[in-house]
Amino acid sequence: MEKRPGTALVIVGHGSTTNPDSSEPTHRMADALRKREIFDQVLCSFWKEEPSMREILHSVTSPDVYVVPNFISEGYFTQTVIPRELELDGPITRCQGKTIRYCDPVGNHPSMTSVLLKRARETAPIVPTMQTSLLIVGHGTNLNDNSATAVKTQVSLLSKLGLYAEVLPAYMEEAPLVSDWASMTAQKNVVVIPFFVSDGLHSYQDIPVLLGIRAEVGPAASKAAVFQSNPHALHGKNLYYGSAIGTDPSMAQVILDQTIAFDRLHSHGTTATTQ
């Protein structure tokens, strides 16, 4: 990708006041993108950590700014919180001498399909895929349909590739529930990939309990063992559990892909708000 002089990239994550793993992937992707020297600046900002979204634009010296939400799906944070905190009024906002281009969240980009496929193969590298059920796990919620949309989209795309015997969605808080994984899968081999940005409490504590890998929630220090002890022999099946998709190094390219997609969509200039 060509260099973009006079341009900055801001990657926005959720962050956490209790879990340092939450922001780690965002910082790692920013480091990787700085090394590529495409943008004059690559900065991170968070809802629950510093630097905050309300302060981050003061650190930007470039006149053009791309903002990419490091979130899996559209929802409350991408549609309400981030625009409010950054004072955005649309996809393009001109504010304080800067042009801010607000991109879609990473989980919406079609290239996520290849990242998911890569993670699935790494999780169970020697298992015949046509004898394997692949489960993509999201949070899910009855309060916001968008929470499950990204998972359903990727399941559809992966199914069309025909590389696995079956590709199924599963959720923590809505049907089909990840706790029912054994009864919903037809194959002896089952690969489970969490469709989350980071290896937070859901991926290394909650989901292992729902899968039956653990009897109770374990401490954060044991998270590595959860992903390195495959396969798990449960319910007459071989269960392979992978780490959250957002930790994959190729997510840096997905972030770039969203800036490219933004330029393609708005190449003829959309309405911008001047403040």
pLDDT tens digits, 27-86: 999 999 999 999 999 999 998 889 999 999 999 999 999 999 999 888 888 999 999 999
Quickly state the pLDDT bin for 148 (edges 50, 70, 90). confident
Q: Is 39 helix (H, G, I), strand (E, B) or coil?
A: strand
Q: Where are the domains of the chain?
A: 4-107+249-274, 110-247
Q: Find, among 145, 199, 197, 142, the residue nearest to 14 by Cα.
A: 197
Instruction: Copy the structure tokens of residue 227.
Output: 């992903």
Report the C-alpha gap between 16 and 213 in whole angstroms.
25
Q: What is the pLDDT of residue 76?
A: 84
Across-strand partners of 163? none
Report the C-alpha gap between 262 and 134 in whole angstroms.
31
8 A C-beta contact, residue 11 and residue 45: yes
Tracing tokens 């060509």 back to the chain, one arrives at 2
Strands (E), the chain: 4-13, 39-46, 64-69, 92-95, 98-102, 132-138, 166-171, 189-194, 232-234, 237-241, 272-274
Question: Taken in order 250, 251, 256, 258, is the CA torsion positive or negative?
Answer: positive
pLDDT at 269 over 50: no
pLDDT at 145 over 80: no
Note the CATH number of domain 110-247.
Answer: 3.40.50.1400
Query: Which of 75-84, 171-180, 210-219, 249-258 has the least mean pLDDT?
Result: 210-219
Quickly state the pLDDT bin for 226 (edges 50, 70, 90). low
Helix-helix angle 146-161:112-123, to 10 degrees = 70
CA distances from 62 to 31, 96, 99, 274 (A): 18, 11, 9, 17
User: CATH fold of 4-107+249-274, please?
Assistant: Rossmann fold (3.40.50)
Q: What is the mean pLDDT of residues 143-171?
A: 88
Instruction: Copy the structure tokens of residue 196.
Output: 């989350």
Do 4-107+249-274 and 110-247 agree at the fold level? yes
Q: What is the pLDDT of residue 274?
A: 39
8 A C-beta contact, residue 96 and residue 64: no
